[in-house]
Amino acid sequence: MSNIPADLRFAESHEWAKKEGDLIVVGISEYAQDALGDVVFVEMPEIGKVFAAGDAAGVVESVKAASDIYSPVAGEVIAVNEELGAEPELLNSTPYSAWIFKLKPSNVDADLAKLLDAAGYKAAIGE
């Protein structure tokens, strides 16, 4: 059973999004991390890169597989979590605090409204 924080929104591709002031913080869900297994590498997007909602923004590699990370909302990357470069395993132990990148969103309310709330995500993953 995955931990699904109520204050986050979720993409069906298993990224979470959290509004923090004017920014959106993005990471992967515990469910995604469990499916991937031990994370060994995170390819983060470039700062300044602009994504539409649903665009591939990076890659998470584990001992089992590599999986794209998708931007849950449209916007410009303004920060990446440099700690993950040295310690990608942080995604294994703390998937909801080990964020991957932050966006300055272009249409935050409309994009967030399209994402799943905790109950919707729980239903989507069959829990």
Interval 28-56: pLDDT, tens:
999 999 999 999 999 999 999 999 999 99
CA distance 122 to 14: 11
pLDDT digits (tens, 9 = 90+) for 92-111: 999 999 999 999 999 888 99
CA distance 5 to 121: 10
pLDDT for position 108: 86
Handedness of CA 11, 95, 8, 71 (dihedral sign): negative
CA distance 27 to 43: 12
Banded model confidence at residue 127, pLDDT cuts 50, 70, 90: confident
**All structural domains of the chain:** 10-124 (2.40.50.100)
Which has the closest alpha carbon to 29: 77, 88, 100?
A: 100
